[in-house]
Amino acid sequence: MRIDQDFGVTTGKLDELKARISRLGIDPAKIEETFSRGGGKGGQKVNKTANRVQLSYEPLGLRIACHRERSRSLNRFYALRELVDQAEMKVSPETSSRLAEMRRIQKRKSRSRARTLSKTVYQENA
């Protein structure tokens, strides 16, 4: 996969993604990219073009599929960003911002569940 192509995003976002790829040691040449027809909303454009992007990175055993937008180039960028997120969670979980966000949400949900359970126990005893 070539990451020096135009993805239809700002250069800042692309530079940040390239920096993360190099920091994690991901070899872009080993990323396999395939395209297929998407489905869902988008009408004739989606039904006639192969804009669903599937990326696989065998060294880490990752497979990502993306079909968020009508545009193939944007879907390529989103899929690559998702692949880098997944690789970061596997390679260096302590620096993964996505993993930290997932832990924060999980902690918030567990606190909410604990409050709900304590209210239920209090009402049963009353």
Kindly report the CATH number assigned to the domain that includes residue 54.
Answer: 3.30.160.20
Q: What is the pLDDT of residues 51-68, one digit of tens each?
A: 899 999 999 999 999 998
**Range of 15-19, 38-42, 87-91 with top mean pLDDT:** 15-19
At 10 the three-state DSSP class reads coil
Q: Tokens 């993306």 belong to which residue?
A: 66
Q: What is the pLDDT of residue 122?
A: 64
Q: What is the pLDDT of residue 120?
A: 74
Which pLDDT band holds residue 22 (cuts at 50, 70, 90)?
Answer: very high
Q: What is the pLDDT of residue 76?
A: 94
Q: Which residues contact 41 (CB under 8 A, 6 or more apart)?
A: none
Q: Is the dihedral of CA 38, 41, 47, 51 positive or negative?
A: negative
Same domain, 60 and 112: no
Please tell me what DSSP assigns to residue 41: S
Q: What is the pLDDT of residue 30?
A: 94
Same domain, 78 and 57: yes
Same domain, 59 and 73: yes
Tokens of 123: 């009402």
Same domain, 27 and 70: yes
